[in-house]
Structure 1
């Protein structure tokens, strides 16, 4: 039995007339009658009472009609489900992000827009440092991630560069440099720095160190903060100062003042990494959405770029 036999059968069952059913199917009446006879031989019983005035369903025909409608409904649903999965409209995606990226409006907006565009996809979110996110990629427990890898750190992952984010100086409230509208990097020489450990995120750490050396000094690191948010809390406690991605200024912690850098300063590069090769369609759809947004919005504010 083939699905076309069921479709032919239902057309006759609904029209109760072979000629009208053949016209509805766009075929000649004799081949339709032959197909129904073939189906009846397979069932082993007549499906229609035939008379000069038309046809009527037998008991076997009535039973088959109900089941055939359900079979065809399930078949169409299965095909539609497969097509949706192929377009990335269903399934699961595992998205990672670093602590600093979690404060970036662009990252938050990308995840929000993806959930709105693909409501039937299960989104599993993971916040980790760069090193741990890369480890999750290696064990294929992550599909995509917003992070700040150093050169060569991403390995064979597919990388999609996003616009770099400026960095700012974070100072304790009342610090002498907080009175400035913008702080030159050279003015930070001799200050005690609180930095995110290099082992957790080489890209951001190295960018800060290189910029400070270019300004003529090597930062004196007095404290490492295991999480980016803890950096801000330690600054509020007066333990030191730091250089952080501009999006961190959205953390309005009492006792912390943010100032832009006067002159050339480090930038916080960001990439969207994803598994290369045979990735689920959900990942391709997510990458397409993020890269499209990156071209259309200001990364630091998540507002449309001015024309």
Structure 2
């Protein structure tokens, strides 16, 4: 059974005459009669009966006409819905992000614009650690993730740069450096530090900080290590030392802490967009394109977009 069978049948039912219906459909009367007969054979029952020079619906035909007309009425709706989905204007998108990325004002701008551009897309957001986000992508629990570099090494995933930003020092407010407009690593060579540490090793940022100190002929004096940047700020507030954290976290307010930019242009942390390689979902493609087209300078203090 095809849509044309339904159209032919409904035309005959509405006109009550095969000849007039054939003229309206621009088909021959014999071809129309054959199509109606094929439809009745498939259904195993008569749908039409002759009355004088015209045709009327049988009881089964009346029921079938009602349902067939409903189907035909929905064809344009279904067509439009499919076209909208193909353009990524409808659908669902599950977005994962790490805790520190969720503080980025640039991401807030992207999400606001995404909702304005695609109001009929259902967005859902979750927060998790980077390793958990990678696993969620591979298991198709989420569609896209925003996390800090380095990118996952698996070939199943693809990544794009989103933005890069510098670090700030979270400094106890009683410290002499708390009044500075900016600090450098040279200012910190004799200071106890609270530094990031990965769950399975030092991590990329910790390694880069150590390398930067080594270029100064110094070694970082580590007072505390933590895999959580927000915990590092809490430790700084408690007086354990100066914490080095991404600049977006300067929006985290803690009593006893002030933030001071770290004037080290080589110490940048990158936020990347990660999705499954080859995922054809239009709504995903739209979102990734939006992330890449956004100018990070629109977000004060968010840093610059990675090249």
Please indicate, yes or no, whether the TM-score normalized by the shorter chain is above 0.5: yes
2:154 matched residue in structure 1: 155
Please name the residue that 1:262 is paired with. 263
Question: Is the counterpart of residue 100 in structure 1 residue 100 in structure 2?
Answer: yes
What secondary structure does 1:298 align onto? helix
Q: Who is 1:47 aligned against?
A: 48
Deviation at 1:258, TM superposition (A): 1.3
CA drift of 1:40 comes to 3.7
- In 2, the alpha carbon distance for the partners of 1:302 and 1:15 equals 70
Greater shift, 29-38 or 93-102, is seen at: 29-38
User: 3-state DSSP class of the match of 2:166?
Assistant: strand
Q: Any idea what the Cα deviations from partners look like across 1:238-272, whole Å, max 9, x if unmatched? A: 22112221111111222221122235351111211
Alpha-carbon separation, structure 1, partners of 2:280 and 2:86: 11
Determine the C-alpha separation between the residues in 2 that align with 1:190 and 1:25. Answer: 89
Matched residues, number: 300
CA distance in 2, matches of 1:257, 1:197: 22
> Counterparts of 2:47 and 2:142 in 1: how far apart (Å)?
57
Distance in structure 1 (CA, Å) of the matches to 2:172 and 2:130: 27
Partner of residue 62, structure 1: 62
Q: 1:299 to 1:209 in 2, by over 3 A?
A: farther
Q: Deviations over 1:158-179 (max 9, x none)?
A: 0101231122222111321122
- Equivalent in the alignment of 2:146: 146
Cα drift, residue 104 of structure 1: 0.7
Q: Determine helix, strand or coil for the equivalent of 1:262.
A: coil
Q: Aligned partners of 2:120 and 2:301: how far apart in 1?
A: 25
Unaligned runs of 5+ in 2: none
Q: Is the 8 A contact 1:145 1:272 kept in 2?
A: yes
Mean CA deviation greater in 98-107 or 43-52: 43-52
The TM-score normalised by the length of structure 2 is 0.81
Secondary structure of 1:239's aligned partner: coil
**1:164 matched residue in structure 2:** 164
Equivalents in 1 of 2:260, 2:106: separation in Å? 21
Aligned position for 2:297: 298
TM-score normalised by L of structure 1: 0.81
**Change in 2 beyond 3 A, CA 1:198/1:61:** closer
For 2:102 and 2:198, how far apart are their aligned partners in 1? 19
C-alpha separation in 2, matches of 1:210 and 1:23 = 84
SS at match of 1:96: strand
Q: For residues 68 and 301 of structure 2, what CA distance do their matches in structure 1 show? A: 52
User: 1:183 is paired with a residue of what secondary structure?
Assistant: coil
Note the aligned Cα RMSD (angstroms). 3.2
SS in 2 for 1:277: coil
Q: CA deviation at 1:16?
A: 2.9
Partner of 1:237: 238
Matches within 5 A, 1:1-307: 1-42=1-42, 43-52=44-53, 54-72=54-72, 86-88=86-88, 92-118=92-118, 121-137=121-137, 139=139, 141-150=141-150, 153-156=152-155, 157-199=157-199, 202-262=203-263, 264-278=265-279, 280-293=281-294, 296-298=295-297, 300-301=299-300
* Structure 1: gaps (5+ residues): none
SS in 2 for 1:61: helix
Mapped to 2, the partners of 1:16 and 1:236 lie a distance apart of: 85
Distance across 2 between alignment mates of 1:109 and 1:265: 26
Contact 2:50/2:56 (<8 A) preserved: yes
What is the deviation of 1:10? Answer: 0.8
